[in-house]
Structure 1
Amino acid sequence: MTTVSNRRKSISVVIPNYNGRHLLEQNLPSVYAALNNAKTDFEIIITDDCSKDSSVAFIRQNYPLVRLIINDQNQGFSASCNRGIEIAEKDLVLLLNTDIELNKDFFESQFKYFEHPDTFGVMSKIIGAKNGETQDTARFLKYSGFKIKANIFYHLENEDFLTPTAYLSGANALIDTKKLKDIGGFDEIFSPFYCEDFELGLRAWRLGWKCYYDPKSYCIHDHSSTTKNYRTRNWVKAIFFRNRLFVHAIHLSKIRLVFWFLQVAFIDMLFMWIGLKFYYYKSFGMFLNNLKHARHSRKKMKELMARHNSMISIDDIINKMTKMLEGQTIIFRRN
């Protein structure tokens, strides 16, 4: 499609789509502009997740070179991304939401991260489309009681320093293709959406790879445009908290897992009741009903770590990120 650069890795853009014709029409031109500006070989793969709008017809008519996958039933974000990852042929995979508009120079400052053999991937700054607020930057990992948290946003005064982040946003994540396929892509237990990117990042760190945030690159995000296609607000919240529970069931050590469950079952459930957040009880019920699948994911993680001769824990990731940031001026806010 473009002249291949000897210096730059090729890119497969993988885009999951569900009823996003208007978003594709709005944002695909920016994706092509950024790819052409990067002066490297590329392909675009779109997985249509059984859309009810005219997405498929739009793609076929306006973008015939796109590699189009059509799900015969709605499978959710993780599964749709994985179908695209499976057929990706380039050096890097850019996982991209339909509601993301890329800056023309989006890739320019990101190639350098892949000069390091232990780089899993890198994400850019995410800026809101409505008022220009910074929505996502680097995230630091910590414990809150026995719960894993990655809600501390930060960036560094020195923008040339390689900034570690707990995970890469699923909205825009440029990832080493071989590593992404080796790790198995997203865990489909998280379908239809939420927390699959968080869990993928933890998996990568625990295998000895690194995730980075690039402050010099940015994209524009029309927040929640994709999830508006799904049911009610409380249903979406229930899915989010169910998936948060899955993350812990997969990645906590055995001892922490016991105390985490007690914290959730007694303290969290009480506070959710007091706060009238009854959707959390639905989350907990869905989690318990899928414990078999969570145990399977935990077993797969154990096997993956054995194959990579790794014994890295969540505690080790926190310590590694802390050590990487030694001597840097950290600014604990998004902007």
Structure 2
Amino acid sequence: MKGFSIIIVTWNALEHLKRFLPSVSETDYPNFEIIIADNASDDGSKKWIRSNFPHVKIVSLDQNYGYCGGNNRAAPFASKEILLFLNNDVEVDKNWLYDINKAFDHESVAAVQPKMRAYQQKNRFEYAGAAGGYIDNYGFPFCRGRVFDTIEEDLGQYDSKVDLFWASGAALAIRSELFTDCGGFDVDFEFHMEEIDLCWRLQNQGYKIRYAPESIVYHLGGGSLPMDSPRKVYYNFRNSLFMLWKNYSTLSLFTRFPIRLILDTIAAWKALFEGKPKEWLAVAKAQFHFIKGLLKVHRKRKKLQKKRIANHDPSTMINLSIVWQYFIKGIDRFDDLNS
């Protein structure tokens, strides 16, 4: 069986650790370790961990490096072959690691996501990852079990083991050597989309992202930024543009990227007409800062394009516009997209 290094980034989240770390520690699996990447917390988190879970490793960081920076800095302290990045607000089933372990039996699989249900409604999928992530032609993310804000009940409809486009960063397992080789998470993203970018880079190099439905976790979610936060809107829009410019095939960069810019502009003006000026401003700032940082992003693209093995986009990119399907045609279930 493969070994897992479970890395949990935390910053002043002692209450989350008290609620969720016990289930992770009680995992029934013969080969795993837990590493806490502490982003300079001052709420007594480290003292509590040492007193209650002395077997847990603590990587003490000198400041708050966020999700990307915290995980990147903790990864070198891992001793197992699989890194498993887990949010500090996730409860896990006792046997959750077994199905993830099976998924890595295939050498082409680089990363794996478990089934993610909502902590507060445990019969429903969770927004951040549900039953695995995809994107459409224009880079809009959605999940099996969650399209935009419509979240389905888990009735076993997505229990097949399939290839994904992206695995949620709330519970993302990845081969340690691949994470290191590809440079880890892009710290310029700061918040949001960093896991989609990582998974896209891996696919461009010929690897697969897999779903492990027999592995179940329960995510509280919404802890870092509220769903309606203008700051969250800003990061989602800006980082989407970063990600697309870095990873699109050359053809898509010229044909699809301009359409994405138009769609973002429409979304901004829609928000303004709906009386949400802060959301309009967030999208405008996202586009401005994307243009401002374009030269740096393009340098990253040039390096990444040298590593890709095909000139086309990954086959797991869904060939449609999810915006059109959801807002115009009214399709809000993943299964119904096929029709």
Distance across 1 between alignment mates of 2:301 and 2:136: 20
Distance across 2 between alignment mates of 1:296 and 1:195: 19
Pairs aligned (count):
303
Q: 1:181 to 1:267 in 2, by over 3 A?
A: closer
SS in 2 for 1:108: helix
Partner of 1:74: 64
Equivalent residue letter for 1:62? N
- Asked if 2 retains the 8 angstrom alpha-carbon contact of 1:185 and 1:200, the reply is yes
- Asked if 1 retains the 8 angstrom alpha-carbon contact of 2:162 and 2:210, the reply is yes
Distance across 1 between alignment mates of 2:9 and 2:292: 27
Establish whether residue 283 from structure 1 lines up as the match of residue 286 from structure 2.
Answer: yes
Report the alpha carbon displacement of residue 66 of structure 1 after superposing the two structures with TM: 2.4
Distance across 2 between alignment mates of 1:170 and 1:267: 26
What are the residue-to-residue correspondences of 1:1-335 with 2, within 5 Å?
A: 8-34=1-27, 37-40=28-31, 42-132=32-122, 133-135=124-126, 136-143=130-137, 147-153=138-144, 159=159, 162-191=161-190, 193-227=191-225, 233-276=229-272, 277-278=279-280, 279-305=282-308, 310-311=309-310, 313-318=312-317, 332=335
Report the alpha carbon displacement of residue 237 of structure 1 after superposing the two structures with TM: 1.5
Distance across 2 between alignment mates of 1:261 and 1:331: 24
Report the alpha carbon displacement of residue 311 of structure 1 after superposing the two structures with TM: 2.4
SS in 2 for 1:109: helix
Equivalent residue letter for 1:163? V
C-alpha RMSD over aligned residues: 2.6
Q: Deviations over 1:130-163 (max 9, x none)?
A: 12211211234431xxx1233152698684x531
- Asked if 2 retains the 8 angstrom alpha-carbon contact of 1:189 and 1:294, the reply is no
Q: TM-score, normalised by structure 1?
A: 0.82
Q: 1:317 to 1:219 in 2, by over 3 A?
A: closer
Equivalent residue letter for 1:296? R
SS in 1 for 2:140: strand
Distance across 2 between alignment mates of 1:20 and 1:114: 31
Partner of 1:4: none
Q: 1:78 to 1:106 in 2, by over 3 A?
A: same
Quote the sequence identity (%): 26
Equivalent residue letter for 2:5? S
Report the alpha carbon displacement of residue 105 of structure 1 after superposing the two structures with TM: 1.1
Distance across 2 between alignment mates of 1:239 and 1:318: 22
| Structure 1 residue runs without a partner (length 5+) | 1-7, 321-329
Q: 1:101 to 1:271 in 2, by over 3 A?
A: closer
Q: Deviations over 1:25-64 (max 9, x none)?
A: 1111111111xx1122x22211112334222232233333
